[in-house]
Amino acid sequence: MSAPRADLERSDTRWILSTEELANSPSRRDGIKAEDEKKKRRQTVSFIEECGKKLKLPKLPVVVAETYLNRFYGLNSFKAYDRFVTAQACLFLAAKVEEKPIKLERIVVECHLVRYESRKRPLDPGPTKNNPDYVAAKNAVLEAERVLLYSINYDFDILNLLPITHFESLLRKLKDSGVRDDQPF
């Protein structure tokens, strides 16, 4: 497989990139400007967010999918892999990992709607699910899933590492120490 893989030796800190690594990201080496890369990350994450809503996914798998995406583009260039296809693969994988699996057909159809909403052109799998456009879109996500798995080095149990998890425990501690908690968390 041609996609780069996470460094196996740096186990715990593998996903914390240094300033130099960030400044010399795969996208940067591929001629994408820093602002553009940031923008692409932002847009793709909100694409995942939108698709997650459309698919009625709980927050957890959506957050996990967004983390997969950011990790993936820490190792790969936005030019080399279509971000919307990668985003769908992230959702597809995160939903399975977080025990809320979604049929690939739904992901492909709903994400297509989110992506091309303005053009109002739904993707119809067809009665025997062999509409060539649909089959191509589906296969692209399946291939992207394999590249994604390899790139993130099968590290998909990431809940304990997410900032939100630490934030949550911090809030709990505050609450336990008597800080008023008017807002449900």
Query: Which residues of the shown chain bind another protein in the complex (CB under 8 A)?
Result: 1, 11, 92-93, 96-97, 99, 101, 103-104, 141-142, 145-146, 149-150, 154-157
Q: Nearer Cβ to another protein, position 10 or 146?
A: 146
Q: Nearer Cβ to another protein, position 19 or 128?
A: 128
Give me the DSSP letters along 85-129: HHHHHHHHHHHHHTT----HHHHHHHHHHHHTGGG-------TTS
| Closest by Cα among 93, 77, 83, 89 to 138 | 89
Smallest distance from the beta carbon of 34 to another protein, in angstroms? Answer: 32
Q: Nearer Cβ to another protein, position 35 or 99?
A: 99
Smallest distance from the beta carbon of 145 to another protein, in angstroms? Answer: 5
| Closest by Cα among 158, 130, 7, 132 to 69 | 158
**Helix 132-151, helix 104-115: angle, nearest 10:** 100
Smallest distance from the beta carbon of 8 to another protein, in angstroms? Answer: 9
Q: Nearer Cβ to another protein, position 32 or 97?
A: 97
Smallest distance from the beta carbon of 25 to another protein, in angstroms? Answer: 24
Q: How many CB atoms lie within 10 A of CB 152?
A: 23
How far apart are alpha carbons 162 and 94 in whole angstroms? 14
Q: Nearer Cβ to another protein, position 142 or 170?
A: 142
Smallest distance from the beta carbon of 92 to another protein, in angstroms? Answer: 6
Owner of token pair 């025990």: 99
